[in-house]
């Protein structure tokens, strides 16, 4: 029984390696998102060039990829512990994709890119604008970023990579009264 399991595991691992897709980062987390203002979502790690997502074609032929941002409900999953599903995924706008000689098309919240063999495309200019409502302060929401490698002629499988997009909004600003008299009236 163990030998069959190992063979199946090797079969699936081999297929995943042949899938010709690499997505970076594996989790996108943005903190202190201001309300009522347009905020750009991007990786801010050392050495990053200010992009939202990198998609690499690790295969030996041209490939098409579809990138979309969905709510957890739309995707059919539950948010991670401590997060809630984003109330409205339409707050997130996709503006452009940049990279080397990319063919790009947009359909709503879906971006499609074509990458040559060995090429990496960088998704940039992804913005979020959360309405300025008091119930949206100090929230922790999750959306889902979905990247699909579309099947080429002769292929039968569309590989899908899913990563969480965690959004934490700013804390509610202290009222004028609390700023002035906050230290005087303590319980």
Residue 5 scores a pLDDT above 50: no
Per-residue pLDDT tens digits for 138-158: 999 999 999 999 887 887 777
Instruction: Please give the Cα distance from 137 to 88 (Å, whole number).
Output: 15
Per-residue pLDDT tens digits for 65-83: 888 899 999 999 999 999 9
pLDDT tens digits, one per residue of 26-58: 888 999 999 999 988 887 655 556 788 888 999
Q: What is the pTM of this model?
A: 0.75
Residue 105: per-residue pLDDT: 43
Q: What is the DSSP letter of 157?
A: -
What's the confidence (pLDDT) of residue 180? 61
Pick from 114, 110, 34: nearest CA to 68: 110
Q: Identify the pLDDT of residue 134.
A: 92
Q: Tell me, what's the pLDDT at 54? A: 87
With vertex at residue 120, the alpha carbon angle to CA 114 and CA 122, rounded to the nearest 5 degrees, is 85
Angstrom distance (rounded) from CA 181 to CA 164 = 41
Q: Which domains does the chain have, with CATH numbers?
A: 20-170 (2.60.40.10)
Mean pLDDT for the chain?
Answer: 77
Q: Which of 12, 13, 19, 16 is nearest to 151 (CA)?
A: 19
């Amino acid at each position: 029984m163990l030998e069959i399991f190992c063979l199946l595991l090797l079969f699936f691992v081999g297929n995943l390696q042949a899938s010709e897709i690499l997505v970076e980062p594996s989790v996108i987390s943005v903190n202190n998102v201001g309300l009522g203002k347009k905020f750009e979502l991007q990786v801010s790690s050392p050495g990053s060039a200010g992009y939202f997502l990198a998609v690499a074609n690790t295969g030996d032929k041209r490939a098409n990829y579809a990138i979309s941002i969905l709510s957890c409900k739309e995707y059919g999953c539950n948010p991670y512990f401590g997060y809630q599903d984003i109330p409205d995924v339409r707050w997130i706008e996709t503006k452009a994709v940049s990279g080397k000689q990319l063919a790009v098309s947009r359909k709503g919240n879906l971006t499609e890119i074509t990458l040559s063999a060995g090429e990496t495309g960088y998704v940039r200019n992804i913005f979020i604008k959360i309405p300025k409502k008091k119930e949206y302060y100090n929230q922790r929401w999750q959306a889902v970023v979905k990247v699909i490698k579309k099947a080429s002629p002769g292929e039968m499988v569309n590989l899908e990579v899913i990563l969480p997009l965690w959004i934490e909004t700013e804390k509610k600003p202290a009222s004028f009264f609390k700023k002035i008299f906050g230290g005087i009236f303590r319980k």
